[in-house]
Amino acid sequence: MTCPDKPGQLINWFICSFCIPRVCKLWSSRRPRTRRNLLLGTACAIYLGFLVSQVGRASLQHRPAAERGAHQSRDTPKASFPEIPLDGTLAPPESQDNGSTLQPNVVYITLRSRRSKPANIRGTVKPKRRKKYAVVYPAPGQEALVGPSLQPQEAVRAADADVPGYVQRGNLANVGEEHWRLIRDPGVRVGGSDLQLPKARESNIRIYSESAPSWLSKEDIRRMRLLADGVVLGFQPVSSNSQVRLLMFEGSAAGSVPGCGPSPCGLVKQPLDMSEVFAFHLDRILGLNRTLPSVSRKSEFIQDGRPCPVIFWDSSLSPTSNETHSSVKLTWGTYQKSLKQKCWQNGRAPKPDRGCTAVHHHEWSKMALFDFLLQIYNRLDTNCCGFRPRKEDACVQNGLQPKCDDQDSVALAHIIQRKHDPRHLVFIDNKGFFDRSEDNLNFKLLTGIKEFPESAVSVLKSQHLRQKLLQSLFLDKVYWESQGGRQGIEKLIDVIEQRAKILLTYINAHGAKVLPMNE
C-alpha cells in the first residue's frame, strides 16, 4: 500500500482503514444498543463535517481563478487595469450572499491630470504657411493700406470685401486647440496672362477667422490696419514742447498738418504709453465705444525702432483749450452738481439755471467705470488727491499733488466731444496704470456716480472678460510680443479682473443702479 501524499487523502485513508473496522466491531459487540447508536452517530457527524469543510475549501480555491480568467478574457480588449479608477474615487467592497463584504486586494491610486502648457487661444497657433501670392498695390488716391486678402478655399469672395478674413475650422468663440489654414489671393491676371508680383508683407493685424471679433467694427479693423501697416510719408511734432508726433500716411496732402484734413494720420506717443492700446480693446469689449483706434507699431525713425502706441487722428474732435485740453470747461464742483441734475436723461432738456453742459448724463458713468478699471486719473483727479501717487506720476512732477484742499475749483482735463455730436464724450489720453495695489485704488473717480452702464457690467459679471481680451489683443502682433506674449498679457488681465470684482462689490454696497445706456 502506498502512502497518500496529501493531508486530505491521509485523513480519508485513516478513517477508512482504522475507524470503520473499529466501528463495525463495536456494532457487532453485545453492548447496549443505545450507547452503540450514540457512538455511531458521533463518528458519522465528524466525518460529514470534515467532508463539507474540504468541499468548501476546494470551491473557494478554484472558483476565483475561473472567474478571474473569464473576466480577463472578456475585458482584454478594454482597459488594461480596470480596477484602478482615474478620478481618484474608491469602489465600494463587493457584497456576498451571506451579508459579509469581500475586501478588495488591489491598491487604488489617484492619477491627477496636469496640463503641461496653457490652452491655445484662438489664433495663438500660427497657421501653416501656404503658397503665397502677391497683391496688386493700389493706384495713388486709393486706400493706402491693402493687406493680404485671405479667402475660403471653397469659394473666392468678392474683391471689395471690407475686412480680409481667415478661415477657421471649429467654433470661433472657444478657447482650445484649433486648426487653421491661411490662403493667399491667387495671382492677378493681367493682359490674358498670370502675373506673379513680389511677395507682400504680412499685416501686423492678425485675424485668423472669417471675421474680426464682434466687438470690433469693420471701420475699427480698417483703421487698425492703416495705423499698423500704412506707408508713412512723413512725421512732425504736434507742438514744440510735446514729444507726441503726428504721422502722415500715404495719401496725405502737403500743408494739412496738424489737422490732416480728410487724409489719414496717427499720433505716435512714448513707449511708456502702451496702455493706450489695451484701453482701446477694453473699451470695445465693454461696449462703451468711446476711445479712438490704437495699435502698437515699430518704426526705424521713431524711438529707435521700439514699439510705440499709434492713435488714430480724428479731425472731427472739438477744439480744446491749451490749459486743460478739454472742449468742455468744468471744475470738480460744477461736475458734481451736474451729476445731481442728471442732464439730458430720458430726453429732457435741462433748464438754463441747472448748470448743465451739452454732455449727456450717462457719459460720466461710462467714463468713471472706464477710468476706475484702468486707474486713469488725469481726467477727474488731476491733482492725485484720491490715492497715494509716486514721484513718476504727472501730478507730482508738476507740483499739483499738495493742492487737495479746495477741490471744487480744480478743473477737469481731457473732457472732449465731437463737433457734430456734443452729447457724447471721446476718451483720449487713456494711459492706465496696472501697478496700483488694491489698497491704493482711486475711488474718488466714482464719486457722485449712482448709475452704471448695463453692457459693461454684464461683461464684468459674465466671466468672459479674460477670453475676450485675449482674443482681441492677439490681433495686434506688435503689442502682443512687446508685452511678453500670452504670459505677459495674462498678468495685465489679472489686474483688470481683480479691479472688476472690486467695482462690482462697490456697486452692490452703494446700491448703484445698472441701466441700459444706449443714448
In this structure, of 35-39, 245-249, 456-460, the range with the lowest mean pLDDT score is 35-39
Q: What does the pLDDT read at residue 11?
A: 58
Write the DSSP symbol of residue 326: -
Sequence letter at residue 190: V
Q: What does the pLDDT read at residue 186?
A: 33
Q: What does the pLDDT read at residue 330?
A: 94
Q: What is the largest CA-CA distance in the chain?
A: 148
Q: What does the pLDDT read at residue 467?
A: 96
- Total Cβ atoms within 10 A of residue 103: 7
Give a three-class secondary structure readout of 133-179. CCCCCCCCCCCCCCCCCCCCCCCCCCCCCCCCCCEEECCCCCCCCCE
- How far is 325 from 330, CA to CA, in rounded Å? 12
- How far is 349 from 326, CA to CA, in rounded Å? 23
Are the CB atoms for 302 and 268 separated by under 8 Å?
yes
Question: How many degrees, rounded to 5, is the angle at CA 172 between CA 135 and CA 517?
Answer: 100
Q: Is the pLDDT of residue 350 over 50?
A: yes
pLDDT, tens digit, for every residue of 164-218?
333 233 333 333 333 222 223 333 333 333 333 344 568 899 998 888 999 999 9
Q: Is the pLDDT of residue 283 over 50?
A: yes
Q: Which residue has the higher pLDDT, 130 or 289?
A: 289
pLDDT band of 29, cuts 50, 70, 90: low
Which ranges of 76-109 would DSSP assign to H, the alpha helix?
A: none
Q: What does the pLDDT read at residue 241?
A: 62
Mean pLDDT of 457-473: 96
Chain centroid to Cα 193, Å, comes to: 48
pLDDT band of 496, cuts 50, 70, 90: very high
End-to-end CA distance of the chain: 114
Q: Is the pLDDT of residue 249 over 50?
A: yes
- How far is 290 from 404, CA to CA, in rounded Å? 29
Q: What does the pLDDT read at residue 491?
A: 97
Mean pLDDT of 416-439: 95
Sequence letter at residue 29: S
Q: Is the pLDDT of residue 441 over 50?
A: yes
Chain centroid to Cα 180, Å, comes to: 20
pLDDT, tens digit, for every residue of 409-421?
999 999 999 999 9
Query: Considering only CA atoms, which of 33, 214, 191, 7 is closest in space to residue 122?
Result: 214
Q: Which residue has the higher pLDDT, 67 or 181?
A: 67
- How far is 181 from 169, CA to CA, in rounded Å? 8
Q: Is the pLDDT of residue 67 over 80?
A: no
Domains of the chain, residue spans = 218-515
Q: Is the pLDDT of residue 123 over 80?
A: no
- Which of 33-37, 74-78, 82-86, 243-247 is most confident? 243-247
- How far is 449 from 385, CA to CA, in rounded Å? 18
Mean pLDDT of 119-147: 44
Q: What does the pLDDT read at residue 453?
A: 97
- How far is 136 from 146, CA to CA, in rounded Å? 9
pLDDT, tens digit, for every residue of 72-109?
444 444 444 344 343 333 444 444 455 544 444 443 33
In the chain, the percentage of residues whose pLDDT exceeds 70 is 61
Chain centroid to Cα 107, Å, comes to: 40
- How far is 348 from 170, CA to CA, in rounded Å? 48
What pTM did the predictor assign? Answer: 0.63
Q: Is the pLDDT of residue 509 over 50?
A: yes
* Average pLDDT value over all residues in the chain: 73
- How far is 445 from 447, CA to CA, in rounded Å? 6
Q: Which residue has the higher pLDDT, 494 or 257?
A: 494
- How far is 170 from 174, CA to CA, in rounded Å? 8
Are the CB atoms for 400 and 432 separated by under 8 Å?
no
